[in-house]
């Protein structure tokens, strides 16, 4: 699938547009300290970020799926995350510059994430992208989040852009599944939060990039 000049570019949030790992790693260490557990490798958390709060809590505290303490620690995780939301996060290299190029060239852009709006919206505000995202779609806006294509299709609808004219980049197989099903040109972000020994090349994306800078180059060549 060859992409001509895109009319819109859509990003997954964590691990694709914004590097939020430092915040999650800090919270994981705080939880282990509260649970009186010894330190854990940062990489353990990074490899589980795409599994959400529950997955990170299980990895951080070494809990099984059946552990009855998970709801308590998940609530504690989210409380700490909300309290320091965005303080240790930053856009991946080159992406703020790419967004400015969108503004100059009339390219719409937005975010399609499985992060709840109460976390995603303040995080985007704190990052202060200019121009601001034209659309932010979260699970609050759809009945079926990614990997279902509903959220991607809604973003395209709100941008008045045919899916075939949009690029969607994400760092998880569910992003590529959703983007492909919607009919977008998909890009796998191999620089994101992949599980250990996972290969982004296996997701079936139209293209794969190993760094955010490579994605910037890819898009700037086409706009």
Beta bridge pairs of residue 163:
none
For 6, the token pair is: 């895109």
Beta bridge pairs of residue 8:
108, 166
Task: Tell me whether residue 54 is exposed, middle or buried, using C-beta atoms within 10 angstroms of its C-beta: 0 to 12, 13 to 18, 19 or more.
Answer: middle
Active site includes 14?
A: yes
Residues, the chain, total? Answer: 223
Backbone dihedral region for residue 15 (phi beyond 0: left; psi -120 to 50: alpha; all else: beta): left
For 159, the token pair is: 């941008």
- Whose CA is closest to 170, among 140, 131, 215, 135? 215
Q: How far is CA 166 from CA 12, 56, 88, 125, 158, in A?
A: 13, 31, 30, 23, 12
Q: What whole-number distance in Å separates Cα of residue 116 and Cα of residue 122?
A: 11
DSSP letter, residue 14: B
- Whose CA is closest to 62, among 87, 44, 76? 44
Q: Which member of 12, 19, 165, 175 is catalytic?
A: 12
Q: What whole-number distance in Å separates Cα of residue 166 and Cα of residue 179?
A: 9
Beta bridge pairs of residue 91:
18
Annotated catalytic sites, by residue?
Answer: 12, 14
């Amino acid at each position: 699938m060859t992409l001509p000049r895109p009319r819109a570019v859509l990003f997954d949030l964590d691990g694709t547009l914004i590097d939020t790992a430092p915040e999650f790693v800090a919270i994981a260490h705080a939880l282990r300290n509260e649970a009186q557990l010894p330190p854990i490798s940062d990489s353990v958390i990074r490899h589980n970020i795409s599994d959400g709060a529950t997955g990170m809590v299980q990895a951080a505290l070494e809990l099984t799926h059946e552990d009855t303490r998970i709801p308590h620690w998940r609530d504690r995780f989210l409380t700490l995350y909300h309290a320091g939301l965005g303080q240790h996060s930053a856009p991946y290299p080159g992406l703020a510059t790419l967004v400015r190029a969108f503004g100059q060239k009339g390219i719409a852009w937005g975010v399609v994430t499985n992060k709840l709006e109460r976390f995603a919206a303040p995080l985007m505000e704190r990052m202060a992208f200019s121009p601001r995202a034209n659309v932010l779609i979260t699970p609050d806006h759809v009945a079926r989040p990614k990997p279902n294509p509903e959220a991607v299709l809604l973003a395209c609808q709100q941008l008045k852009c045919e899916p075939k004219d949009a690029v969607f980049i994400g760092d998880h197989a569910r992003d590529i599944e959703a983007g492909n099903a919607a009919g977008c040109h998909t890009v796998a972000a191999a620089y994101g939060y992949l599980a250990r020994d996972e290969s982004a090349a296996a997701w079936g994306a139209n293209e794969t990039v190993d760094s955010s800078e490579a994605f910037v180059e890819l898009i700037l060549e086409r706009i």
